[in-house]
Structure formats: C-alpha cells, structure tokens
Amino acid sequence: MLVATGPNQPVVPALPFAGMGRIFFDGQGGCTVSSIGNLNGQSVPATSSSCVYTVNPDGTGTSEATFLATPIADPIPIAFVITDGGDELRVLMTKFIVGTFTARRQ
C-alpha cells in the first residue's frame, strides 16, 4: 500500500499505526493529549505541546494538537461528535493518520 503525503509530496509506503491515551478538555477551549503510539513496531510516547478545541451547538466539534519530537511535526486535526449524554466522543482523524476512535469520560 502506498500513501500520497500531500500536494507536491512524494508517495510513501503506508506504515501500520495503533495508539491509545487520554484527552483532557478544560472547558475553555484548551486541551492536553497524553498518548502512546506504535508506529511500525516502534513505541512513540507523546504529550501535546499545544491543543485547542471548539464545540458547536449541535455537539460536533474539532480539535488540533501539536506534538513535539514525534514523526508528525504539524498540528494533528480531528473532528468529533459528542454522544451518550456527553460521556463519549466519536473521533475521526482528518489529516496525516487514517483512523477513528471512541473516547469515554473517566
């Protein structure tokens, strides 16, 4: 499998990726992400150096987090919808990583 990394960028092999972690939303548009990923068999621990989010009146929203010293230097954007009475987020990665995840309030 090959993946184009963006306009005018080379085509590169897709690498397997899995991850898990925690997201803290402060209620004021700021957030923190602490996670560990496995990229092609190598552990990549990461904590966001910056993170912001917005929530729309219909319960949809977006967030963008930056992780220093990781393979992706640019902010990583996601789109989400709040479900289950506010106890769950369904998330779609919107750039760099093809994937979805569900987050539960702890």
Per-residue pLDDT tens digits of the chain, which is 106 residues long: 444 455 666 666 777 888 899 999 999 999 999 999 888 888 989 999 999 999 999 999 999 999 998 888 899 999 999 999 999 999 999 998 888 999 999 9
50 within 8 A of 32, measured Cβ to Cβ: no
Q: Rounded to an integer, what distance in angstroms lies between the CA atom of residue 3 and that of residue 88?
A: 31
- Pairwise CA distance, residues 92 & 98, whole Å: 8
* pTM of the model as a whole: 0.82
